[in-house]
A and B are shown apart, each in its own frame.
Chain A
Amino acid sequence: MIETTELTKRYGDKLAVDHLTMSIPSGQVTGFLGPNGAGKSTTMRMILDLDSPTSGSAKVNGRRYRDIRFPLHEVGSLLEAKSIHPARTARGHLQWLADSNRIPRKRVDEVLELVGLSAVAKKRAGGFSLGMGQRLGIAAAMLGDPQTLLLDEPVNGLDPEGIVWVRSFLRSLAAEGRTVLVSSHLMSEMALTADHLIVIGAGRLISQGSVADVVAGSSSSHVLVRTPDVSQLTSILTAEGAEVSTDVDHALRIRKVSIERIGQLAADNAVVLHELSPQAASLEQAFMELTRDSGEYQTELKAPPPPSTTSDGGLN
């Protein structure tokens, strides 16, 4: 369980994290989403006591991180920026980390095996590819067999093979019931791995909840109706307080009224329906919509229009 209360970080006159209050549930993979510069890394560094908050606090399992005696047993972390000395071997790096938290040396070989780096254990980390470096970082995070993991952009810059590896690794952590906070600016990644989502933009909390909740809360989610009596149905639904928009092909996109109510109203008024279907927004669309006003660098680009075909919402 990770909790932040009114967590705030100010750099000069810029608020990087703005009174962020959130809780990361135990035993689940929580996706920490936000555009670049939203304050994800700063928040994670504050949870780890690497950066001190301007105000507010962060707690891990009810304690401040600095009060944990040997934190690697409880919390593993992978930070976005490399934190490995290039002249040291992979094994050397893990050995000093293990010693600092009284972790048995045999665990070093176990985690090297776990991430598939046993063959290069004696190679200098400076010569590692991005993907190998990331694996070494994950090995370091797993060293103390922690119940809680903080992973900052673990797939950033990886090749497809590396991405697949990290993804299946995240799934295995979830299957073992560990608490994982994984930040990303890639929605599709989170749709595949996360149970719970926390969306931030410009340092502020925008949305938190299950993946389904976040998607449902998006205004891109709506009901698609096809009918020959466009004008009649529109006036009935508008009277019910619905928001109705008309597409070129006589399709109505309806928000703010449930699909059951639309069906009932159509039957009561003897309106013929050719189609009545729920349209879930994809996580990508929900995210774009949520963070539209909070991106650090705004451009004229807007979220893509909802697709006209039935979408499964990317929730497979």
Chain B
Amino acid sequence: MESTIVLWANVRAEWVKLRSVRSTLWALAITIGITVGLSALFCSTRVARWDRMGRGAQLIFEPIGFSLNGIFLSQLAIGVLGVLVMTSEFATGQIRATFAATPTRGTVLLAKMKVFFLASLVVGEISSFAAFFIGQAILSSKSSASITDPGALRAVLGGGLYLAGIGIFGLGLGVILRRTAGAIAVLVASVMILPQLVELLPSPWNDDISKYLPSPAGQTMFHITSARPSLSTGVGLLVFLAYPLGACLIGWVLLRTRDA
């Protein structure tokens, strides 16, 4: 297939682009650092405060999802990197070199998605597994889980997938908005600010809307239990994936018609 040859040539090219800029490595390292560091911090605080917690709180404590809470902050690092993978091309004018080399723009976008998804999935899973094992090691004196516990492996894998999904969401926003600042603002608003705002709506609207937002929907993958009404893991995964894929689809439509 002719288009497959072009796609794979572009996958190689995008891989070179990704690894030949130092800031990529930094952003990926920061993603791992935040996920693992916050897990260690949260878990040690919880251990220190364990005896002061009520008996009820101790019983409903869920160590798996708790050790993965660092993802709420590290998602910004991977999401911003996703934004930059696209917007840095527009900002520097490199996009013209890219499209002059490969005029089929959909192929370029697909190659970028493949490469960045794979890179962020690997980094996401490293972050997630490291956060889990370090968190459980710290929690072991009180209440910890094993990777073989029911739902544990699925949750840890889900945490990595969540990070990769947010990375692709950032990439999609970068294609649509083309400007770094704008795309980062929309990213932060959708994964961090919007859930807080929806919370302020009168019940039951807040719960009905909230569960369909990207982060609550994605959380169903790595939180075993939830204090709030949420979607089932399967539906949550589908709703969550609709955000990155939808953003890239809109971006692709715009990319085909816009001048570079």
Contact = CB atoms under 8 A, between A and B. Distances in A.
B97 A87 contact: no
A88 B94 CA distance: 11
A82 interface: yes
Contact of B16 (A71, A81, A99): A99
A302 interface: no
A52 B99 CA distance: 13
Contact of B102 (A52, A85, A100): A100
Interface stretch (A62-70, A164-172, A267-275): A62-70
Contact of A101 (B92, B95, B101): B101
A30 to B, nearest CB: 19
Given A69-B6, A87-B23, A81 B17 contact: no
Interface stretch (A42-50, A111-119, A258-266): A42-50
Given A99-B12, A100-B10, A52 B103 contact: no
A87 B16 CA distance: 13
Interface in A79-127: 79, 81-89, 92, 95-97, 99-102
Contacts of B16: 92, 95-96, 99
A83 B94 contact: yes
Interface in B190-236: none
Size band of the interface chain A makes with B: 20 to 34
B93 A97 contact: no
A4 interface: no
Given A83-B94, A83-B95, A85-B92, A72 B101 contact: yes
B21 A87 contact: yes
Contacts of A100: 9-10, 12-13, 98, 101-102
Nearest to A140: B97
A51 interface: yes
Contacts of A99: 9, 12-13, 16
B96 A81 contact: yes
B89 interface: yes
A279 interface: no
Interface string A4-30: 000000000000000000000000000
Contacts of A96: 13-14, 16-17, 20
Nearest to B97: A83
A79 B9 contact: no
5 A-B pairs with the lowest CB-CB distances in the bound complex, closest first: A100-B13, A92-B20, A66-B103, A96-B16, A51-B259
25 contacts: A49-B99, A50-B99, A51-B259, A52-B259, A66-B103, A66-B104, A71-B100, A77-B100, A79-B93, A79-B100, A82-B93, A83-B95, A84-B93, A85-B17, A85-B21, A92-B20, A96-B13, A96-B20, A99-B9, A99-B12, A100-B12, A100-B98, A100-B102, A101-B101, A101-B102
Interface of A: 45, 48-52, 65-66, 68-72, 77, 79, 81-89, 92, 95-97, 99-102, 140
